[in-house]
Amino acid sequence: MYAVREEVEVLKEQIKELIEKNSTLERENALLKSLSNSDQLSQLSTQVGVSQQQPPVTTAPLTAPQTAHPPQQPNVSSA
């Protein structure tokens, strides 16, 4: 019984960490979407659809639209 309780506590901690990581990734995703234009988003959607059917293909990274005052690069950290 003690082992089961210990495992439940470990799982609760893992769930908490995963929820926090998910929140962070959702915020980063929203930021990246806000910095891109609709053409880039549609291109990305197309690439995602193709990559689910075929092995990944290396492509040039998407860039933010050019403006007079370029936006500051987001601080995206890998988890």
In the block, residue with structure tokens 């998910």? 22
65 in any annotated domain: no
pLDDT: which is higher, 55 or 16: 16
Provide the domain limits for residue 6.
1-30
pLDDT at 67 over 50: no
37 in any annotated domain: no
14 in any annotated domain: yes
Number of domains in the chain: 1
pLDDT per residue as tens digits for the range 21-50: 999 999 999 999 999 888 888 888 888 887
46 in any annotated domain: no
1 in any annotated domain: yes
Angle at 25 between CA 19 and CA 30, to 5 degrees: 125
pLDDT at 13 over 50: yes
pLDDT of residue 14: 98
